[in-house]
Structure 1
Amino acid sequence: GNKNDANDAVAIGETAGRPKVSLLRPKTVEQQDIQSLLRIRERLVENRTANCNQLRGFLAEYGLIVAKTRRQLMLAIPPILEDADNELSTVARGFIQRLYEFQLYLNEQIDQVAEEILTLAQAMPQYPLLLTIPGVGPIVASTLLASINEVNDFKNGRQLAAWLGLTPSQYSSGTTNRLGKITKRGNQTLRRLLIHGARTVVNWCDKKDDSLSLWLQRLKQRQHVCKVTVALANKMARMVFVVMSRGQAFDMNKACKIAA
């Protein structure tokens, strides 16, 4: 109670002296570089999406409806600007052209930043091992390497999943234990990327017959696909712990023995 800076300082000092407190290790320079580039890339992607939506909205105001995908929009703009019979005014053609050029600039910047990220990540020995995990691509692997200082600081894979907010929240009292939604604590960007990667694996599991795909197929029969996706993201976090802690490539047979 009576929160102030002095009380905060005393509480922090007392907490740091507790024997079971897990302290974060400082990031290496390489990790900080990758993390900074990832933040820049994330902002550029947000700007590209905003510019793309504004561009599509302006075209719709002039009666020109374009497909929702970014690729279709970029393909449609040059013919629209060259068409002298559409509803675009001279002023409209000017700012549509500027927004189109800005979109091309953002695409170029995102590609350059991604290339720098991959160059730094590929120098780390654990990078190729992470790529063997289903649903983990270059950006996810780079984010993992930049976010996790030392994986052995976690006791097991479940602790890593809990650190990422992928484990159920608990509402327990006495002998009654209730599990709710995932906690969504920790690194929001990394959690989102793992869920996106898991969604890709879930979307293609019906066309495969490996042990992980069979496990997902059975799970989809009992649960909604969104729950299956988050469950796989949780499992992926545990896979990441094993791969990084043991320094070995992902083994499908060991990860999914039940479904084999």
Structure 2
Amino acid sequence: QNDAKGLAEMARMGWYREAAVKGAENWKTRSMLAARTKLVNLRRDIDNQMRGLCKGLGIVLGKAGSTNLARKVDAVLAEAPDLQDIFAPLVLAQSCLTEQIERFNRQLMAVAKGDQTVRRMMTVPGIGPLTALSFVVTIDNPTRFKHSADVGAYLGLTPRRYQSGEMDRTGRISKRGNHQMRTYLFEAANVLLTVVRRGSALKRWGSKLAKR
């Protein structure tokens, strides 16, 4: 009874923050993205484990994606069958993870193709289906943000600012909010600045920001 009275008083006085409840469909897509990221991280750990084991044997596998890495490990096992007991379980686990990641990729691609907003975002240089889809489901309802700067704060991209006299220093970002979304945006920005060759107003703005 006392708790109910206290909550009613807080609602009457406005001493609370409204929490937006996202739709069930967006929750499902966000869960798929999170599950895929978990599998990708697990596969990366296995890849690094195999690289470390090979390096300990004096074998440097070099730069390679997960598929090419498995082929290189198979080539090592062909020349050193006594290592089969060590590497075979890791290669099998990596193969299973890759298969399930591809399954998630197909499902997420189908969702992206069916969403007009996601397809429109994919026209931005450096933005792929995963980044666009993750952004759309994270923001959910854009009308709940009064200003575009509020979106940056919501994603933890607001930098600290220190001003004193003639000193004006910009610090690190707050890193609040969705870590996965910030990772996708960082990767997209890196692709825009280093891979995309076609010039655009966004790329020019990003280049000036990087120089500053």
Q: Please state which band the TM-score falls in when normalised by the shorter chain.
A: 0.7 to 0.9
What's the counterpart of residue 26 of structure 1?
21
2:186: which partner in 1?
195
List gaps (5 residues or longer) in structure 1.
1-5, 224-260
Partner of 2:74: 78
Q: Does 1:215 align with 2:178?
A: no
**Amino acid in the other structure paired with 1:110:** I
Q: What does the per-residue CA deviation read over 1:115-153, in whole Å, with 9 as the maximum and x for residues that have no partner?
A: 112222333331111112222211111111221221110
Are the equivalent residues in 2 in contact too, given 1:140–1:190 (CA < 8 A)? Answer: yes
| 1:86-105 alignment runs, 5 A limit | 86=80, 89=82, 92-105=83-96
**1:108 corresponds to 2:108:** no
C-alpha distance in 2 between matches for 1:130 and 1:181: 27
Q: Structure 2 matches for 1:176-191, cutoff 5 A? A: 179-191=170-182
Q: How many residues are aligned here?
A: 208
Q: Separation in 1 of the partners of 2:44 and 2:64?
A: 11
| Most deviating of 22-31 and 143-152 | 22-31
Superposed displacement of residue 13, structure 1: 6.5
1:32 Cα offset (Å): 1.2
- The answer as to whether partners of 1:27 and 1:149 remain within 8 angstroms in 2 is yes
> Does the 8 Å CA contact 1:135/1:194 hold for their aligned counterparts?
no
Hey, what does 1:248 align to over in structure 2? none
User: Does the residue aligned with 2:171 lie in a helix, a strand or coil?
Assistant: strand
Name the counterpart of 2:32.
Answer: 37
Deviation at 1:14, TM superposition (A): 6.1
Give 2:110's aligned residue. 119
For 1:73, the aligned partner's letter is L
Q: Distance in 1 between matches of 2:9 and 2:57?
A: 64
Provide the rounded CA distance (Å) in 1 between the counterparts of 2:21 and 2:209: 39
> Kindly tell me: are residues 103 and 121 of structure 1, through their superposed partners in 2, closer, same or farther at Cα, counting changes over 3 Å?
same
2:73 alignment partner AA: I
Q: Read off the aligned partner of 2:55 and give its amino acid letter.
A: A
> Could you tell me how far 1:208 is from its partner in structure 2?
3.6
Q: Structure 1: how far apart are the matches of 2:191 and 2:204?
A: 15
- Would you say the 8 A contact 1:140–1:193 is kept in 2? yes
Over the aligned positions, Cα root-mean-square deviation in angstroms equals 3.0
Whether 1:169 aligns to 2:160 is yes
Question: Secondary structure of 2:60's match?
Answer: coil
Counterpart contact for 1:38–1:143, Cα < 8 Å = yes
Alpha-carbon distance, 1:79 to partner: 1.6
User: TM (normalized to structure 2)?
Assistant: 0.83
Query: CA offset at residue 50 of structure 1?
Result: 0.8
CA distance in 2, matches of 1:146, 1:215: 26
**Contact 1:130/1:136, CA 8 A, preserved across alignment:** yes
Contact 1:55–1:96, Cα closer than 8 Å, also in 2: yes
In structure 2, give the amino acid aligned to 1:67.
Answer: G
Cα deviations by residue, 1:29-53 (Å, 9 ceiling, x for unpaired)? 2111101111110110111011111
2:65 counterpart letter in structure 1? R
> Which structure has more RCO (C-alpha within 8 Å, separation ≥ 6)?
1
Partner secondary structure for residue 180 of structure 1: strand
Q: Percent identity?
A: 27
Aligned partners of 2:195, 2:40: CA distance in 1, in Å? 25
Q: Normalized against structure 1, the TM-score is what?
A: 0.69
- What SS is found at the alignment partner of 2:157? coil
Which deviates further from its counterpart, 120-129 or 154-163?
Answer: 120-129
Distance 1:76 1:150 in 2: 46
Matches within 5 A, 1:131-142: 131-142=122-133
